[in-house]
Structure 1
């Protein structure tokens, strides 16, 4: 028994002969225990197994006290106390490892004693008592003598030692998993992590302070040059991401056992990393500003510093995207769900994601500040080249007139594409595209009323520029290309370059569509029948009736009649305007009148071809008023594909259409026609439509 008490020193597991001796000693004890004489000669001894357990406990305690004495600190400084605790715990971990790997198998097989459980629980109780006292003193000292923002060498050393101790105790507590299930509950060291809660929080505060200083130094020493075409950021960006990686690694090794505490610490990690990323972007922004980039004076040049600033910020911003996986957002959500339910888990996850997205947005805003200035500084040159494009001689081809602008853009974009990360290049490409669109729009808006060649050139230029910025799918996508300014330019230039006849046709194309969109009967309805008879090459129209027409006379009624006109007039030059008879004092007139227009079937297929029914109110002493209009497209009129319609109107379904009112010309084809003061046809059509709108006013 005396030899067993000192088995750690006498029978080390790395000495095979010593282990053989220990094996024989245990076998002897087992044989003695099996002898009937043992219980007779030593009647007051406990069973042999209990005696062995007692000796293991005593030997473990003696060994622990010896190790504690050896590792005892020589001074009372926090650092030495912590280091002594670390050494003690590490010695115990080594001993427990030996117990589990070597001694336990031997004791179990020979004397049926769970050596590991006996030794572990004895050491666990002893270690807890000393650690509890020591950590209480350390935390009291830290709170009394050190501010949360302290950054001196002692703080760093103490924080490092505390972390070492935490990891050592974490390792010791992990051996608990090798205990039998019945022995795992209610161990003293189950709450070991609570001792480190204030220290860990303090460490994160210190880590943030240290990270900021490291970032400042990294930016200060950063070399403003592109190292290689494949490496478009500089050393400060790498240093920043390494700094954040160390904070993540600390949290990973921490592996905090309490779900609520783990969530608290991961939010601190996120605060440290996200605030560090924001601070880095701010430092790079300030450095670029100090170099004069944001000054209004001076010619714009694409510099390495501009490109590196954007790339560095983007590189650090990208590093944040790995945080959900590296920090285990999903695991934290599941852990919080067990404590606070599904809603609590989702809220915790959302909080962490919001922190990351907020930092992303702030860094993106810094990039946007720089990108906007790129566009602003390029704007004067772009304005100059657009001016030369717009006012080149009429004889000059668009390809030639736009050449200076294309060369300027191409040269700058090539340089930017070579020097910038794709994400940053896309942002600048988008900004320059918007600048080009604004200059084209300003040129267009300031020169309305020009003749078609002016707009044809701008329209062709827009096509060429779109191809440049789209770059066969390698540049901006369709969504980025088709901004509001682009759509305005495309629509306006398409109208402006059209001939007057084409604009009038476009007007008559749009009106039936506008009519279809009407769902409320505001001005009544008109019922008609229309068909085409190939036998006499004529369009047959029957005006049947009106219903719920507006009351335009003081007596509460109207005197309605209908004008029938084939439009546009340049498609039907030989067709006169017809009209029905006047129906007195009624809002629901019955006309039942037919009209015949001799036209070729090909005329019905012309762009914009339609029948315009204008419902008028007859006035004897004043000008007739307009009640409303109906536009009926001719392209699909019944009978065009038949040789004849012998049954006439009986073969045609009645068509009841809502009336709409003429509107004052604001934009679209009418707006363009208004500006063509040099074109009599345009002015006549515009004035006619304007007069109709005024009659409705």
Structure 2
């Protein structure tokens, strides 16, 4: 306190001087005329406010006198002038301004503004008013000191350089120190005439600043806050002595202080260098915390601070202080309203009524602040804040207050507050939503196509927007009331909140359809039809379209529309739009890929590019995506919800299920038709080359040219880049066209050729049939070649030179490489010791397994722990040991460890010996497979994972040295992406190979990506080429049902 007093006294002495008779003119708060206070009066007030004795005050003054004098700076800004007198023959003037302080050597001059009577200078000058050299003299003659402002202009006679006085103005520096100046001042000039002439006005601004060295802006403002608080509470204490009536309202402090207090505050602010905006902030920070301050004054001063805030004059720390004080002020004001009788006693009459009215007025302003907002984005943003606060408030009630009140006093506090608040919230949310919908109607599909989507992005029901956040908040509020009785929920103001967003949802669906079509067009346009990587045979556009479908699916899942019956209509609309997107994508692909197909001029070879194959694979991929849409959108769950609802029923759910299945089936068939049409278009362009090759082969009685130069190049490329299903379609249709060409050629030459010619055609046809059907599982069957329906390529077997056993070995080596990857997902760890002995045995010691994880599906009936199975339960584990491929090691039997129940880690310490030498056939390419399983009584044992050790990496030692063999720590993994194993893709093509098929059946359940795929190749129906009807409108079917 004494330190603050010393700082204030230093400020007062620096501004007013040392003579106690020196005065300071200050306008009393609420008064109209200035009041002069002396230095002695200011010191007396400070002594009383800080409660120090005269002796203590004298000691502090002695300490203050030893401080280094403050550096006071006079800042003067010449802004502009108007209505000046003309001094040139052109009727203008060349004005400039000189600034002088009499008694000092300080002088300044502005630039000259040519030929104008309304010059604008806007120049700032800084003058050290009180420097060390003349400090004593200035203080002695301070009240008499002034500065002159001379406005001069040059004449038109530049050669004489004469300056004429246009006018002058004199202002006391003392006035600038006390209050600062900012305004227009009339110019005057001494004249002998009784009536002075009008000489114009000049706009000037000036203020005095001074900052103590070593004080930060934050410390300076805190020092001013402390002084204001000290003087306010001193003033209130003096006021309270006059209010002695018991039970009456204390006379509020209206923001007024004595002239002495105002002088001390103003002088301390000058020395601290605090501008007016920060002074207003200090008054608010202190005054808003005074309990007896007048509510009207608080609101008035808050508006002043708000005006400064809008101009951005406060920094981040000052804004945080303002927000904290505003929150405290709101809390204290609301606390007053909770006890009207105590805070606004009736016996205080007009005084209490005025305070209550002022307090209620600002609460009304806060409430009407939202109503006055006309911009839809701002309205929704404010409602989001309100709903978030309401949710937090109700959560606190439900978890803290309501249980106690209900238990001890049987008061359903949560129910009453829920009904009250939701009824208040209804008129707050619905009108702005209607305003948003009206605003959205101004945007059409054309505006989106014109790249206007940014203007409506904040008003759409899309993740990340204020409207979406509002919907989420309303959903959370609705869920808070789910535990209330049904009749209570119906009485709430938000029981049908989702209906308020009906137009927003439908609007989003409409916009999403248009935006998706534009994105699909752009994706196809930018696609170069190159496979995205070596493992996938589709290009970027297929990935983009699949991503669009996924985005729509994620939006629908996040929406969680609470009305099951309405969800059927919306989901049907969304799925119908997705299917139409698939058809549009197929049409765009067909148009672009057809343009890529080319035939070399005057050439017998067909040029089928890789891009054509990729285009066909893209259509196939999107068709597969469409077939999985019901699963992704969880249609089955919605059907069950509708079936169990009171308004839905079994009939509505069955109709919906039938309509969805019909939609997906027809869409899939339509896309298959697009593939068939595309293949037909490609082969149609091949006909001329095929026809020429057939004629040449028949004429030469040799099929070599037809096969090697025409068919093989194209079919090889197609087989490598097309899916099996599309390749067989292509072969089948190509075989039909080839037979047609042979038939046409024979018919045309019936009466022109000899028998030897037709004999050659016969052998060529037989060779062609064998070319298209080299065996039953590669190419077309004999029935297909004789009734041209399906097709295949002769070179297929050349791509599969490896035996099935070698492919199995290759698969396990691929799994071994995958097992060694650092980022492969671990399902546990197995510790073993394995080695060959010189006696011709393979010894495997299974020591332990730990950190085992099961892939249980939560809630599934097959879960080991029932419907609510956990992922971290213990397992009944055992390990199976075998050498693979098993066909290479017929003497090595499969061995199993004992089962360790509910153990992790599971310690086995089982040792197995196999009759196998390290140089036997197959060891160099064989592996040791350890399969970890979970034993399930009465059910199939569950596969946890497996680990592989190449046999060639095991060392061969003497039996006596087995203790020197180190332990092997193996990561337990499961097969990853199916497309990552080239060996499996090759094995699947060997459908007649028992070894391959047995192996595939054995590992099929271990491949998570193939569980849901149907086995076997689909066949083409006999009416494939018939035109198919379009998908029915689901909305019409559902409405009819």
How far is the alpha carbon of 1:439 from its aligned partner?
2.2
Cα distance between partner residues in 2 of 1:223 and 1:73: 54
- Cα distance per residue 1:379-437 (max 9 Å; x no partner): 333334433443445xxxxxxx3333333423322211212233332332222222222
Tell me the equivalent position of 2:378.
80
How far is the alpha carbon of 1:195 from its aligned partner?
1.0
| Contact 2:732-2:788 within 8 A present in 1 as well | no
CA distance change for structure 1 residues 97 and 369 in 2, over 3 Å: closer, same or farther? same
Which moves more between the two structures, 247-256 or 107-116?
107-116
Tell me the equivalent position of 1:372.
680
How far is the alpha carbon of 1:373 from its aligned partner?
2.9
Tell me the equivalent position of 1:327.
633
- Residue among 415, 422, 428 paired with 2:717: 415
Cα distance between partner residues in 1 of 2:379 and 2:755: 90
Tell me the equivalent position of 1:674.
none
| Aligned pairs (5 A) from 1:438-457 | 438-446=740-748
TM-score normalised to structure 1 length? 0.52
> Are 2:701 and 1:403 equivalent residues in the alignment?
no
Cα distance between partner residues in 2 of 1:67 and 1:301: 77
How far is the alpha carbon of 1:77 from its aligned partner?
1.0
> Are 2:423 and 1:125 equivalent residues in the alignment?
yes
Cα distance between partner residues in 2 of 1:327 and 1:290: 36
Tell me the equivalent position of 1:218.
523
How far is the alpha carbon of 1:158 from its aligned partner?
0.1
CA distance change for structure 1 residues 414 and 482 in 2, over 3 Å: closer, same or farther? closer
How far is the alpha carbon of 1:473 from its aligned partner?
4.8
How far is the alpha carbon of 1:350 from its aligned partner?
3.6
| Contact 1:294-1:373 within 8 A present in 2 as well | no
Cα distance between partner residues in 2 of 1:134 and 1:243: 31
Tell me the equivalent position of 1:390.
698
> Are 2:616 and 1:310 equivalent residues in the alignment?
yes
Cα distance between partner residues in 2 of 1:224 and 1:412: 18
Gaps of 5+ in 1: 1-61, 394-400, 488-697
- Residue among 469, 491, 495 paired with 1:190: 495
Cα distance between partner residues in 1 of 2:552 and 2:446: 17
Structure (1 or 2) with the greater strand fraction = 2
Tell me the equivalent position of 1:301.
607
Which moves more between the two structures, 241-250 or 454-463?
454-463
- Cα distance per residue 1:334-372 (max 9 Å; x no partner): 566665665554443343344434443443344333312
CA distance change for structure 1 residues 336 and 480 in 2, over 3 Å: closer, same or farther? farther
| Aligned pairs (5 A) from 1:232-311 | 232-291=537-596, 293=598, 300-311=606-617
- Cα distance per residue 1:170-227 (max 9 Å; x no partner): 2221222233567445433221111111221111111111112222222222234234
RMSD: 3.8
How far is the alpha carbon of 1:102 from its aligned partner?
4.3
Tell me the equivalent position of 2:282.
none
Cα distance between partner residues in 1 of 2:783 and 2:665: 22
Cα distance between partner residues in 1 of 2:590 and 2:537: 17
| Contact 2:773-2:782 within 8 A present in 1 as well | no
| Contact 1:437-1:486 within 8 A present in 2 as well | no
| Aligned pairs (5 A) from 1:124-143 | 124-143=422-441
How far is the alpha carbon of 1:475 from its aligned partner?
4.9
Cα distance between partner residues in 2 of 1:282 and 1:307: 15
SS class of match (2:562): coil
| Aligned pairs (5 A) from 1:203-214 | 203-214=508-519
Cα distance between partner residues in 2 of 1:169 and 1:335: 22
- Residue among 460, 469, 474 paired with 1:164: 469
Tell me the equivalent position of 2:657.
349
CA distance change for structure 1 residues 419 and 301 in 2, over 3 Å: closer, same or farther? same
Cα distance between partner residues in 1 of 2:399 and 2:668: 50
SS class of match (1:177): coil
| Contact 2:627-2:668 within 8 A present in 1 as well | no
CA distance change for structure 1 residues 410 and 291 in 2, over 3 Å: closer, same or farther? closer
SS class of match (2:501): helix
| Contact 1:207-1:272 within 8 A present in 2 as well | no
- Cα distance per residue 1:561-588 (max 9 Å; x no partner): xxxxxxxxxxxxxxxxxxxxxxxxxxxx
Q: Which has the higher contact order (CA 8 A, sep 6+)?
A: 1
Tell me the equivalent position of 1:427.
729
| Aligned pairs (5 A) from 1:246-645 | 246-291=551-596, 293=598, 300-334=606-640, 339=647, 344-392=652-700, 401-407=702-708, 408-446=710-748, 461-470=764-773, 472-475=775-778, 478=781, 481=784, 484=787
SS class of match (1:257): coil
CA distance change for structure 1 residues 169 and 325 in 2, over 3 Å: closer, same or farther? same
How far is the alpha carbon of 1:242 from its aligned partner?
0.7
How far is the alpha carbon of 1:438 from its aligned partner?
1.7
SS class of match (1:189): coil
| Contact 1:336-1:348 within 8 A present in 2 as well | no
> Are 2:392 and 1:94 equivalent residues in the alignment?
yes
Cα distance between partner residues in 1 of 2:422 and 2:778: 65
- Cα distance per residue 1:26-60 (max 9 Å; x no partner): xxxxxxxxxxxxxxxxxxxxxxxxxxxxxxxxxxx
CA distance change for structure 1 residues 66 and 111 in 2, over 3 Å: closer, same or farther? farther
| Contact 1:226-1:232 within 8 A present in 2 as well | yes
| Contact 1:73-1:80 within 8 A present in 2 as well | no
| Aligned pairs (5 A) from 1:24-103 | 69=367, 72=370, 75-103=373-401
| Contact 1:227-1:234 within 8 A present in 2 as well | yes
SS class of match (2:531): coil
TM-score normalised to structure 2 length? 0.36
Gaps of 5+ in 2: 1-359, 791-1041
| Contact 2:733-2:789 within 8 A present in 1 as well | no
CA distance change for structure 1 residues 272 and 486 in 2, over 3 Å: closer, same or farther? closer
| Contact 2:594-2:682 within 8 A present in 1 as well | no
CA distance change for structure 1 residues 439 and 166 in 2, over 3 Å: closer, same or farther? same
Cα distance between partner residues in 1 of 2:490 and 2:654: 31
| Contact 1:117-1:179 within 8 A present in 2 as well | yes
| Contact 1:332-1:349 within 8 A present in 2 as well | no
| Contact 1:225-1:305 within 8 A present in 2 as well | yes
* Aligned length, in residue pairs: 416
| Contact 2:769-2:785 within 8 A present in 1 as well | no
- Cα distance per residue 1:510-532 (max 9 Å; x no partner): xxxxxxxxxxxxxxxxxxxxxxx
Tell me the equivalent position of 2:205.
none
- Cα distance per residue 1:624-643 (max 9 Å; x no partner): xxxxxxxxxxxxxxxxxxxx
- Cα distance per residue 1:307-342 (max 9 Å; x no partner): 222222222222111112222334454566665665
How far is the alpha carbon of 1:140 from its aligned partner?
4.0
| Contact 1:224-1:234 within 8 A present in 2 as well | yes
SS class of match (1:439): helix
Cα distance between partner residues in 2 of 1:350 and 1:198: 27
SS class of match (1:190): coil
CA distance change for structure 1 residues 96 and 226 in 2, over 3 Å: closer, same or farther? same
- Cα distance per residue 1:435-487 (max 9 Å; x no partner): 22222333444456988876666555445444443454555565982574579
